[in-house]
Structure 1
Amino acid sequence: MQNPKTNRENVLTRLRSEIYGGARAPGSRLVQTDLAREYGVSATPVREAMRDLVNEGLITATAHRAARVRELDPAEAVDINELRLILEPYAARQATERISPTEIAELEELHGRMPGAEGSVWVELNHRFHMIIIEATRNPTLVGILTNLRNVSRFYFEAALRADGGDYAKRDREHAAIIAALRRRDADEVEAVMAAHFSPSVELRRRLTLLEG
């Protein structure tokens, strides 16, 4: 007998991964019955997973129209990048005195797996790295805001990587600097390194425009 909860989680994980990775192209239609047939499940877990992804901002759905993967919007990507540039360095500062040794060890473990990783694999490790820091703020409001921003930001980040790759080595070095500053409980340094870690918005817009053309 099928487990609806497990099916929903499996569909959610698979569909989210396909959207992030570009297998489901921006703007492409998502038909519940087609997805259910492709994934070998009933329509119910597909409908539930799609509802979750609407809430995450990865799918758009309106009455009497087919659901679609969200469109690429460089202007929106820049807005989200600018908001994260304000909030994530602040979150990193807040986390500096609150993060536990266990969480720092988790950051080091993730950092150790990043060299040699690329594409969606690296992005997933990077996402988990940053979420540990965000959750270490112990601030539910800030965690909620940044989780929502990062869900959509990741969509654009992976698209930008598909456009012309990324400097993984530079980002890995910055992760090492963040960990070192967290270990020293140096809030000023953590905040500064996190701010420098973000891609300039003008560069993000340029890379996304490559995909539009």
Structure 2
Amino acid sequence: MNASGHGGRRADEVLRSLRAEIVAGTYPAGSRLKEPTLCEAYGVSRVPVREALKQLEAEGFVTSVAYAGVRVAHIDRSEAVDLFTVRTTIEELTVRRCAERFRAERDDPEVHEFGSRLDTLVEAGLGGLGDPDRSDLPPLNTEFHLALAEFSGNASLLALFRQIAAKIEWLYGMDVQVRGEHSWDEHAEIAAAVQAGKVAAAGRLMKRHVQNSLDGYLKRHTPDATSIPGK
């Protein structure tokens, strides 16, 4: 492999690792990200670090200000509302498609297998509530929603969800101590509606679930906490 290809690979590795650490809360919102520290942490030169930070800024995970350096971003009210509005559209469609599959293909082994997977994820999530730090819950939350997107059979919806999945996990991680019980109870209701083939109910429950997540985030992280206008 040539040098440029190797450098690009290292930048991708730093990008994935740094994004995961931001999502996990290793670097909280507002934290300064210093290039020398990151170079030492990941064992790379400044070039891959700078490329990773540039991509993370494009994704909205960090902000760069002249003479002030790079810091982990805060998600303000307007951005949160926009993100959750997009999420509502994607996930309401996704879960309805899943319920439609259960209603139409109930005897298909793949459908039965997916139902078992949903039950396993919900059981794991509810069980994780007993862990004091609840660090397993954010990735489990992502896995639950990603599983629905995959099972929907719609490649476009899946691709759209993947684009916002890391940011959803990031926001969920900020509120997992407060939202944990409610979110996994809601997951259980959504899973039950999907497996019963209740299309309208599944869509309604998912819409309420995403709205509750937004309301909780706004109350705890923004000064003017209200739900999506018109909801």
Aligned partner of 1:74 in structure 2 is 77
Worse overlay, 73-82 or 124-133: 73-82
Q: Distance in 1 between matches of 2:48 and 2:59?
A: 16
Matched, 1:174 2:181: no
Aligned partner of 2:31 in structure 1 is 28
RMSD: 3.2
Matched, 1:105 2:116: yes
Worse overlay, 122-131 or 9-18: 9-18
Aligned partner of 1:183 in structure 2 is 195
Q: Distance in 2 between matches of 1:127 and 1:67?
A: 27
Matched, 1:88 2:91: yes
**Structure 1 residues 148-202: Cα deviation after superposition (integer angstroms, max 9, x where no partner):** 23332333332334xxx32423322222222222222221221122122221644
Identify which of 148, 167, 170 aligns with 2:163. 148
Aligned partner of 1:57 in structure 2 is 60
Identify which of 203, 207, 210 aligns with 2:220. 207
Give 3-state SS (helix, strand or coil) of 1:68's partner. Answer: strand
Q: Aligned ranges for residues 9-24 of structure 1 at < 5 Å?
A: 11-24=14-27
Which structure has the larger Rg over C-alpha atoms? 2
Q: CA deviation at 1:113?
A: 1.4
CA gap of 1:124–1:136, structure 2 versus 1, over 3 A, is same
Q: Distance in 2 between matches of 1:190 and 1:173?
A: 14
State the AA in 2 paired with 1:194. Answer: M
What is the TM-score of this pair, normalised by structure 2?
0.71
Contact 2:90 2:160 in 1 (8 A): no
Contact 2:139 2:169 in 1 (8 A): no
Aligned partner of 1:128 in structure 2 is 143
Q: Distance in 1 between matches of 2:31 and 2:189?
A: 39
- Percent of pairs with identical residues: 29
Q: Distance in 2 between matches of 1:141 and 1:37?
A: 39
- Gapped regions of structure 1 (runs ≥ 5): none
CA gap of 1:15–1:63, structure 2 versus 1, over 3 A, is same
Aligned partner of 2:41 in structure 1 is 38
